[in-house]
């Protein structure tokens, strides 16, 4: 659990696991024109494709795996999450760092943690790419802008919490894109890859 080089989350990997044992798997397996090599993956939470998400921003894949694409509302209610307090621990990422939901300490004050991603301005170029305005339909419609919000490119920051009173690097689930982080600051364990026996 050492913070190091950024590792992108790839299709076929879970980002982490919640305290109730349900996986965080933010990437949908749907691509522009059905082509995984197109470089354009659908954003699961925009509604451009029907995934049958429930109130927890989760659904069951054809293989029977139930997993979260966004903030697990039922779980955070059970954990008594409050907007005025640091989030309770909700899970652990594949690299061992903790996962919290939406609220953390910024300059000693409990704050809703804001992502540093924004929609790209203008239109996509067309051709081999979808043509039209960047509107959030695809994950590639977003760009990371350092300092735009409270969190780094992996939706994480150093935080002090009840579980880590001396501070730790941690990931945050957010209300806005990317919702569930899309990269790791540590090395993800191979057990989080799909299809293991």
- The model's pLDDT over 148-164, given as tens digits with 9 standing for 90+, comes to 999 999 999 999 999 99
Does residue 46 have a cis peptide bond before it, meaning omega lies within 30 degrees of 0? Answer: no
Domain ranges of the chain: 7-186
How confident is the model at residue 127, as a pLDDT?
A: 58
How confident is the model at residue 196, as a pLDDT?
A: 38
Q: Could you give the count of Cα atoms lying within 13 Å of 173 in the half-sphere of its Cβ?
A: 30
Instruction: Report the pLDDT averaged over residues 58-73.
Output: 88
Please tell me the pTM assigned to this model.
0.91
Report d(CA 167, CA 169) in Å as an integer.
7
Banded model confidence at residue 167, pLDDT cuts 50, 70, 90: very high
Instruction: Report the pLDDT averaged over residues 113-127.
Output: 87
If one counts every other C-beta atom within 10 angstroms of the C-beta of residue 1, the result is 14
Residue with tokens 């996962």: 99
Report d(CA 72, CA 116) in Å as an integer.
21
Instruction: Report the pLDDT averaged over residues 99-112.
Output: 90
Residue 136 region by backbone torsions, left for phi larger than 0, else alpha for psi between -120 and 50, else beta: left
Q: Could you give the count of Cα atoms lying within 13 Å of 31 in the half-sphere of its Cβ?
A: 11
* Residue from 165, 189, 187, 192 nearest 3 by CA: 187
């Amino acid at each position: 659990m050492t913070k190091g080089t950024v590792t992108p989350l790839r299709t076929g990997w879970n980002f982490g696991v919640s305290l109730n044992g349900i996986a965080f798997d933010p990437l949908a397996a749907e691509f522009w024109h059905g082509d995984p090599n197109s470089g354009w993956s659908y954003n699961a939470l925009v509604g451009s494709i029907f995934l049958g998400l429930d109130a927890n921003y989760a659904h069951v894949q054809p293989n029977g795996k139930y997993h979260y694409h966004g903030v697990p509302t039922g779980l955070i209610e059970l954990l008594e999450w409050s907007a005025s307090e640091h989030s309770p621990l909700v899970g652990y990422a594949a690299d061992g760092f903790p996962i919290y939901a939406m609220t953390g300490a910024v300059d000693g004050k409990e704050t809703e943690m804001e992502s540093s991603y924004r929609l790209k301005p203008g239109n996509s170029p067309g051709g081999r790419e979808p043509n039209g305005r960047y509107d959030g339909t695809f994950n590639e419609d977003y760009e990371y802008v350092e300092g735009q919000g409270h969190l780094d490119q992996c939706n994480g920051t150093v935080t002090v919490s009840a579980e880590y009173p001396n501070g730790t690097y941690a990931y945050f689930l957010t209300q806005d894109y990317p919702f569930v982080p899309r990269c790791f600051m540590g090395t993800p364990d191979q057990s989080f890859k799909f299809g293991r026996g």
